[in-house]
Amino acid sequence: MIPSILIIGATGNTGRAVAQTLPTLLQSSSSLSGHRVIALTHSSSIIEQNWAEITVDWLREHQVARAFIASRIEPSQFAEESTFYLNALNGGVNTGLSRRLTRVRQLAVDLPQPNVFSPLIMSPAVDFVKRFRETGKQDTLRLLLSKDAPVGIIDPDEIGVIAARLLSLDDTSAHNKAKYVLNEPEDITGMQIVAMVEQHIGTPVNDVSYKDVSFIDMVYEYKYTATKESKNVIYSIKRAPETAWEGKCSASTASPEILKLAAPKRTPADTLKALLEG
């Protein structure tokens, strides 16, 4: 069987761009041009397979040489990803790529780790502008960011492009067991988002709630209450932005290796414009 590169979550936020970019890059690779791409999605797949149930035998059968994982954020995510990495280690997969941190360090793993996805940060502003345009009325603009701490955010598609470039390298040894931080070239603060919104609606924003994590309450109520998931576990997400609020997640934290490989170009203003037009 032909050696394979596996993309898990091929139609998701980051996996979509990996699946779109990787085949073209492989064509110009001296050692990987003969590899096929196996794309698994959350709902259907080229090969019918639940990725969380992938075994060592499955990996060997399909000769998976490299893999990218963009799994859904669920309470079981860490256990599922760790199990996959252990199976990959035992199955001979020589490079694993994940968009999130993993504790399995024995593998040759490259870790494109974003500070935070730009649509998550900008979507409240998008909803606010759209409602104002429709009704002429304002409600509270609820922003995850603090008022003045600079944060480097990033578009998921840019992560996918970077991951595809890593996957297509003939020699990945320079990135072995590395952990990379990804973000856009410009910082953004909550106050700057408010200014962008005001430009789009042509009037001052009356009420802003910074450091607002109230959406977690809604996520728990509508998604997890019926599943009996631990409320403590889900609500621990509210602690996630604290590092950003402390000013420790600025654009300056971007890993120089990533900037050389495929520097992200989309700015927060670009993201807001694209989401408003989408």
Every domain of the chain and the residues it spans: 4-113+156-182, 118-154+184-251+265-277
Q: How many CB atoms lie within 10 A of CB 22?
A: 27
| Residue 125 half-sphere exposure toward CB, CA atoms < 13 A | 31
Residue 97 has pLDDT above 60, yes or no: no
Cα–Cα distances in angstroms (integers) from residue 183 to residues 25, 69, 225, 242, 262, in the given order: 22, 19, 33, 17, 11
Of 92-96, 223-227, 238-242, the range with the lowest mean pLDDT is: 92-96
Q: How far apart are CA 190 and CA 212, in angstroms?
A: 11
The encoded tokens of residue 94 equal 């020589």
Residue 112's pLDDT is 55
Q: How far apart are CA 35 and CA 170, in angstroms?
A: 12
The encoded tokens of residue 265 equal 């170009």
CATH architecture of 118-154+184-251+265-277: Alpha-Beta Complex (3.90)
Q: How far apart are CA 136 and CA 115, in angstroms?
A: 34
Of 43-52, 106-115, 177-186, the range with the lowest mean pLDDT is: 106-115
Q: How far apart are CA 166 and CA 172, in angstroms?
A: 7
pTM: 0.81
**8 A C-beta contact, residue 157 and residue 267:** no
Residue 228: CB partners within 8 Å, gap ≥ 6? none
Residue 244's pLDDT is 93
Closest CA to 114 of 247, 238, 205, 249: 249
Q: How far apart are CA 156 and CA 16, in angstroms?
A: 9
Q: How many CB atoms lie within 10 A of CB 39?
A: 21
Residue 47's pLDDT is 54
pLDDT tens, residue by residue, 14-50: 888 999 999 999 998 888 888 999 888 755 445 556 7
The encoded tokens of residue 264 equal 């992200």
Closest CA to 162 of 6, 39, 15, 275: 15
**Exposure b/e, 144-181, CB count within 10 A at least 16 = b:** bbbeebbbbbbbbbbbbbbbbbbbbbeebeebeebebb
263: exposed, middle or buried (Cβ count in 10 Å: 0-12, 13-18, 19+): middle
Torsion, Cα of 248, 183, 151, 145 (10° steps): -120
Helix (H, G, I), strand (E, B) or coil at 20: helix
CA 253 to chain centre: 16
Kindly report the CA angle at 135 between 143 and 123, in degrees rounded to 5?
25
pLDDT tens, residue by residue, 128-167: 999 999 999 999 999 999 999 999 999 989 988 888 988 8
Average of per-residue pLDDT values in the chain: 85
Residue 99 has pLDDT above 50, yes or no: no
Residue 107's pLDDT is 35
Residue 190's pLDDT is 98
Residue 120 has pLDDT above 70, yes or no: yes
Helix (H, G, I), strand (E, B) or coil at 173: helix
CATH architecture of 4-113+156-182: 3-Layer(aba) Sandwich (3.40)
Amino acid identity at 2: I
